[in-house]
Amino acid sequence: RFYVAIKMPDKSKNSMLEAIKQLTSNIPKEVFKTFTSDRGKEFSCWKKVEEMGIDFYFADPYCSWQRGCNENSNGLLREF
């Protein structure tokens, strides 16, 4: 696993989709087996991500432990 942070202008679904496209254009698609997110509105573009060949999953509400690595990494990123 590795962590990549991309600065986005806002939390819209279009910005999220562009960030995912940017990420997958720079890193081989074979690296991305699945994508797990929370249920934020910015991830309403999940069908377009699946069209890119990446399986998309949503964590259950109030179950942050289902994305534990991500939650920890976000905390570390906030320190910078």
Q: Is the pLDDT of residue 79 over 80?
A: yes
Q: What is the pLDDT of residue 65?
A: 81
Instruction: Say which DSSP state 37 is in.
Output: E
HSE-CB of 14 using CA atoms within 13 angstroms: 2
Phi-psi region of 56 (alpha: psi -120 to 50; beta: other; left: phi over 0): beta
* Spans of all domains in the chain: 13-78
How far does CA 44 lie from the centroid of its chain?
12
Greatest alpha-carbon pair distance for the chain in Å reads 35
**pLDDT single digits (tens) 24-73:** 998 887 888 888 888 889 999 999 999 998 999 998 988 888 877 877 88
Q: Is the pLDDT of residue 22 over 80?
A: yes
Q: What is the pLDDT of residue 43?
A: 93
Is the Cβ–Cβ distance between 4 and 26 less than 8 Å?
no
